[in-house]
Amino acid sequence: MVTKTEESQLKNLEIQVDNGGGGAWEFLSLVRKLKVRRSDKVLKHGLSILNDPKQRSTLGSEEWTLYEQVAVAAMDCQSLDVAQDCTKALRKRFPESKRVGRLEAMLLEAKGSWDMAEKAYTSLLEDNPLDQIIHKRRVAMAKAQGNISGAIEWLNKYLEIFMADHDAWRELAEIYLSLQMYKQAAFCYEEVILAQPTVPLYHLAYADVLYTLGGLENLQTAKKYYASTIDLTGGKNTRALFGVCLCTSAIAQLTKGKNKEDKEGSQLHSLAAKALEKDYKQRAPDKLPQLTTALKSLTLSS
Amino acid sequence: MAEDLVLDTAIRDWVLIPLSVVMVLIGVLRYFVSKLMRSSQTPDAKIVREGQVMLRARNLRAGANFIPSKAFRARKIYYCNEENGLLFVPKGQAQNPQAQMFSDPNMAMDMMKKNLSMIIPQTLTFAWVNFFFSGFVAAKIPFPLTQRFRSMLQNGIDLSTVDVSYVSSRSWYFLNLFGLRGLFSLILGEENAVDDTQRMMQMGGGFGFDPSKGLSVEKDNLDITQHDWALPNFEQRAEDVLKKVIS
């Protein structure tokens, strides 16, 4: 997680570096620490440090870390020549290293020679079957090839061991979503929520899945999760507000005639509608008519 | 009696300072030797998995109220059932670590290496100090102390009449042995400090913990966890939030 202060620090440094104010190394270190994706900037500034022998020598042993960082960034930007040079330099310095081996495999992957990359990863895994990064690379590779079911298979295998890795669960949930396998996705989102119960985005995603699944029970649950999203975000999440409205109208449709526990729910619904209207008035007044018609159609159908 | 004992400056030059320097050098040397001998151990897949299972079960316990009760029940059964639940440890299969250590020569080897790198240099230096420097009064602390410190500061001198603020050479060795940790963490970097005291503690208190025991504890905890879905309250809270937003 990137905190607000770190984010602003990163932004300041980025602007400073972009305008030639120095501090490139600090910027690169921060990018590495926060694990953010700024490949183009990393490539540009990292390379300029690496190409300057004087600057490079002041880094000491950190030089090799920089080589690795630049190599990965270069792969991300498809500057394969640069990536190749960096990897070669690293290989020369660390002839036996597995970490360089991983980098080489990633280079193969970036070039699109899937088979060779696969072979390289497999041999690396034989040496250390618990290397999380390589497991994840494999999933990413399957996904990049469009082999979604393969990706699911790898990811499940990975999760069998590293089952507390909630990022992997989220990835799996998103893959399942893309295949419209909502039940499985719901399970994955439950897992993510368990790991981080107070992140509203996961509640929202879970509610979306439940709403899509449909059925009275799921809809009611979905509405509750939309409500929790509203609570956790302080009512600022438009999607959750819409979700509450949609859920209410769908529930009303399903329970038409029975009409028992509708009363207290309808208050949340109308409140959400009002909040939406207020929000639209403030930020997009020209879209307001569309909103009112949409909301009207929802209430009409109920 | 407390009239000043005058310490020869030669004692300072040939006992006090060399002793300290040697202790520091040995500490540094030991650090590099143990770094050389350290085998990069690859963690066992089973142990990693058990750790992860425990983490996940703990998450489930902590966040139980945030998922629907159906989902919670399904998970509880998945973890706790008596046939093949994740947290279920069949009786008899629970290995105690001692036995595990003997069955896995690598582990025993590792332990031995660790102990060797600690014990051998320590006995050697102790013998060396005893042989060359025993019986010196090496230093004087500038403040008086009570009699109880005698055994700490005047180890190796059996004279009850010497003032307690004088430090014997052997005691100086012990003070160095335990007191140089801060210096090592300065020289060798934060985590790398050779921490004798801690290692001794580890030696005393059994080897590591027993993962299967952790699993069954976690299972018991999960068994008694009640599910009380928190989400219905959220609707009320969301209403309050929205009222605030609208007003």
Q: How far is the C-alpha of B27 from the C-alpha of B30, rounded, in Å?
A: 5
Of B48, B71, B242, the CB nearest to A161: B48
CA-nearest residue to B231 within chain A is: A224
Interface of A with B in 242-281 (CB under 8 A): 244, 265, 267-268, 271-272, 274-275, 278
Number of domains, chain A: 3
CA-nearest residue to A183 within chain B is B71
Task: Give the per-residue pLDDT at A183.
Answer: 92
Tell me which of A165-174, B51-60, B163-172, B179-188 is least confident.
B179-188
Q: Left if phi > 0, otherwise alpha if psi is -120 to 50, otherwise beta: which for A215? A: left
The answer to whether B56 contacts A163, with C-beta atoms less than 8 Å apart, is yes
With a CB cutoff of 8 Å and minimum separation 6, the contacts of A31 are A10, A38, A41, A42, A69
Instruction: Mark yes or no for CB contact A161/B45 under 8 Å.
Output: yes
Integer Cα distance of A208 and A242 in angstroms? 11
Query: Are the beta carbons of B238 and A235 separated by less than 8 Å?
Result: yes
- Rounded to an integer, what distance in angstroms lies between the CA atom of residue B36 and that of residue B33? 5
Contact B216, B79 (CB under 8 A): no
Cβ B242–A234 below 8 Å, yes or no?
A: no
Q: How confident is the model at residue B205, as a pLDDT? A: 40
**Confidence at A187, pLDDT banded by 50, 70, 90:** very high
B3 pLDDT more than 80? no
**DSSP single-letter state for residue A196:** S
Q: What DSSP designation does B190 have? A: G
For the segment B135-150, the average pLDDT, to the nearest whole number, is 83
Residue pair B137/B166 in contact (Cβ under 8 Å)? The answer is yes
Pair (A299, A203) in one structural domain: yes
What is the distance in angstroms between the Cα of B242 and the nearest Cα belonging to chain A? 6
How many residues are recorded in chain B? Answer: 247
Contact between A69 and A75 (Cβ < 8 Å)? no
Does B89 or B237 have the greater pLDDT score?
B237
Examine the fold and report which residue of A94, A109, A141 is the final residue of a domain before the chain moves on: A94
Using the Cβ of B85 and the Cβ atoms of chain A, whether some distance falls under 8 Å is answered with no
Q: Where are the domains of chain B?
A: 9-246
**In the predicted structure, residue B1 carries a pLDDT above the cut 60:** no
The residue among A231, A266, A274, A283 with the most chain B CBs within 10 A of its CB, best to mutate, is A231
Facing A228 at nearest CB: one of B62, B71, B234:
B234
Task: Name which of A165, A220, A230, A268 to mutate to probe chain B: the one with the most chain B Cβ atoms within 10 A of its Cβ.
Answer: A230
Task: Tell me the two tokens of residue A104.
Answer: 């080489």
- CB of A225 within 8 A of CB of A203? yes
Give the mean model confidence (pLDDT) for residues B50-56.
85
Domain boundary residue, one of A166, A182, A197: A197
DSSP class of A284: -
Would you report the helix, strand and coil content of chain A in percent, each value rounded to 5? 80, 0, 20
Q: Structure tokens of B123?
A: 């006995």
The partner residue sitting opposite A278, judged by closest CB among B42, B60, B246, is B246
Question: What pLDDT, on a 0 to 100 scale, did the predictor assign at position B195?
Answer: 53
Instruction: Give the pLDDT of residue B208.
Output: 44
**For A206-209, which contacts have Cβ atoms below 8 Å and span 24 or more sequence positions?**
A207/A240, A207/A243, A208/A243, A209/A173, A209/A177, A209/A182, A209/A185
In which residue are the tokens 């996705």 written?
Answer: A185
ipTM of the prediction: 0.76
The single residue listed with the structure tokens 């899945």 is: A209
Helix (H), strand (E) at residue B139: strand B137-140
A224 contacts B52? CB cut-off 8 A: no
Two structure tokens written together for B220 = 């018991």
d(CA B105, nearest CA chain A) in Å: 20
A233: containing domain: 198-302
The mean-pLDDT minimum among A8-22, A209-223, A232-246, A264-278 falls in: A264-278
Q: Quick one: closest CA in B to A189, which residue?
A: B67
| Cα nearest neighbour of B42 on chain A | A128
Only one residue has tokens 């295998």, namely A157
A207 and A133 share a domain?
A: no
Does B52 sit within 8 Å of A195, measured CB to CB?
Answer: no
User: B242–A265: do the CB atoms touch at under 8 Å?
Assistant: no
Nearest one of A277, A216, A290 to A250, comparing CA atoms: A216
* CA distance to partner chain A, nearest, from residue B33 (Å): 21
For residue B60, list chain A residues with Cβ-Cβ distance below 8 A.
Answer: 194
CA distances from B201 to A127, A175, A208, A263, B173 (A): 34, 49, 53, 64, 20
Q: Give me the percent of chain A exceeding a pLDDT of 90.
A: 34
> Chain A, 74-133: which have a CB under 8 Å from a chain B CB?
128-130
Q: What angle do CA B7, B13, B14 make, to 5 degrees?
A: 95
What does the block give as tokens for B78? Answer: 């998945």
CB contact (8 A) between residue A268 and residue B239: yes
Q: What pLDDT digit, counting tens, does each position of A65-121 carry?
A: 899 999 999 999 988 999 999 999 999 988 888 889 999 999 999 988 899 999 999
Which helix (DSSP H) or strand (DSSP E) does residue B167 occupy? strand B166-168
**A107 and A33 within one domain:** no
Alpha-carbon distance of A7 to A77, in angstroms, equals 23
Q: What is the DSSP letter of B13?
A: I
Beta bridge partners of B167: B139
Give the pLDDT confidence of B79-120 residue by residue, as tens digits: 888 777 777 776 655 555 555 555 666 766 777 777 776 788
Angle at B234 between CA A260 and CA B224, to 5 degrees: 100
Inspect the interface and report whether the beta carbons of A164 and B55 lie closer than 8 Å: yes
Token output for A156: 């499940």
pLDDT tens figures, A48-69: 888 888 888 888 788 888 999 9
Determine the residue of chain A that is closest to B52 in CA distance: A164
Nearest to A231 among B49, B64, B234 (CB): B234
Residues A221/A206, Cβ–Cβ less than 8 Å: no
Q: Judge contact between A302 and A253, C-beta under 8 A.
A: yes
Judged by DSSP in three states, B102 sits in helix
B208–chain A Cβ distance below 8 A for any pair: no
pLDDT of residue B164 exceeding 90: no
CB B221 within 8 A of CB B61: yes
Distance from CA of A128 to the nearest CA of B (A): 7
- Please answer whether residues A80 and A46 qualify as being in contact, where contact means their C-beta atoms are separated by less than 8 angstroms: no
Rounded CA-CA distance A63/B103 in Å is 43
pLDDT cut 90: percent of chain B above it? 0
Name the average pLDDT for chain B.
77
Shared-domain flag, residues A151 and A231 = no
Helices (H), chain B: 9-11, 17-37, 45-63, 69-80, 97-103, 105-133, 150-153, 169-179, 181-188, 196-204, 211-223, 231-246
b vs e for B80-119, b when ≥16 Cβ sit within 10 Å of the residue's Cβ? beeeebbbebeeeeeeebeebbeeeeebeebeeebeebbe
Lowest mean per-residue pLDDT among A155-159, A188-192, B97-101, B202-206 = B202-206
User: Which pLDDT score, from 0 to 100, does residue A74 have?
Assistant: 92
Task: Indicate whether A208 and A184 sit together in one domain.
Answer: no
Structure-model confidence comparison of residues A85 and B149, the more confident one: A85
**Axis crossing angle, helix A216-233 with helix A238-254, rounded to the nearest 10:** 160
pLDDT at A190: 92
Residue B143's pLDDT is: 86
A 164-193 → B contacts, CB under 8 A:
164-165, 187, 190-191, 193
Q: Which one of A159, A176, A197 terminates a domain? A: A197
